Amino acid sequence: MEHLIKNLIEQLVSKRELEFSYIEKYKKDELNDLILISSGRIFELDIVIQKLNELLDYYIRTKSN
């Protein structure tokens, strides 16, 4: 399970970086609505990544007990 969660976190971090690259592209084209959408996605990805890291930390601590 630990490896699956780590893999999922890596995929979400990659998606987050992709959204940042979209924002840079949208800035050049002055597409403010799309910038807001991408920044909202990044915000949500950050929350999911944080929760998965907490879950992984909890799993590791309980596994060793």
pLDDT recorded at residue 49: 98
Average pLDDT of the chain, as a whole number:
95
Q: Is the pLDDT of residue 5 over 80?
A: yes
pLDDT digits (tens, 9 = 90+) for 10-29: 999 999 999 999 999 999 99
pLDDT recorded at residue 65: 66
Rounded mean pLDDT, 44-49: 98
Read off φ and ψ for residue 61, nearest 5 degrees.
-65, -40
Rounded mean pLDDT, 50-62: 95
pLDDT recorded at residue 1: 81
- Domain locations along the chain: 15-63
Concatenating the DSSP letter of every residue in the chain gives -HHHHHHHHHHHHHHHHHHHHHHHHHHHHT-HHHHHHHHHHHHHHHHHHHHHHHHHHHHHHHH--
